[in-house]
A = this chain, B = another copy of it.
Amino acid sequence: MQDAASPEPRPTPPHAALRSAARAWFEALRDRICAEFEAIEAESGSGARFVRTPWERDANPDGGAAGPGGGGGGVMSLMRGRVFEKVGVNVSTVSGEFSEAFRASIPGAGEDPRFWASGISLVAHMASPRVPAAHFNTRMLVTTRGWFGGGGDLTPMRLEAPEAVADAADFHAAYRAACDRHDPAYYPRFKEWCDRYFYLPHRGEPRGAGGIFFDHLDTGDAGRDFAFVRDVGEAFLAAYPAIVRRRYREPWTEAERAHQLVRRGRYVEFNLLYDRGTLFGLKTGGNVEAILMSMPPEARWP
Spell out A's residues near B (CB within 8 Å): 80, 86, 201-203, 261, 265, 268-269, 272-273, 279, 282-283, 288, 292, 295-302
With A and B bound together, what is the CA distance between A122 and B176 in angstroms?
A: 48
Copies of this protein, total: 2
Which one of B279, B292, B301 contacts A292 once the chains associate, using CB atoms below 8 Å? B301
Contact yes or no, A265 B295, CB < 8 A: yes
Residues of B within 8 A of A298 (CB): 261, 298-300
Residue of A269, A279, A296, A299 most packed against chain B (CB within 10 A): A299
Taking the nearest CB of chain B, how far is it from the CB of A240, in angstroms? 21
With A and B bound together, what is the CA distance between A297 and B262 in angstroms?
A: 9
Contact yes or no, A202 B261, CB < 8 A: no
17 pairs from A and B in contact (CB 8 Å cutoff): A80-B302, A201-B283, A202-B283, A202-B288, A265-B295, A268-B272, A268-B299, A269-B292, A273-B279, A273-B282, A295-B301, A296-B301, A297-B302, A298-B299, A298-B300, A299-B299, A299-B300
Residue of A296, A300, A301 most packed against chain B (CB within 10 A): A301
Contact yes or no, B282 A202, CB < 8 A: yes
Which one of B80, B201, B272 contacts A273 once the chains associate, using CB atoms below 8 Å? B272
With A and B bound together, what is the CA distance between A279 and B279 in angstroms?
A: 13
Residues of B within 8 A of A273 (CB): 272, 279, 282
Taking the nearest CB of chain B, how far is it from the CB of A294, in angstroms? 9
Residue of B nearest to A272 (CB): B272
Residues of B within 8 A of A301 (CB): 86, 292, 295-297, 299
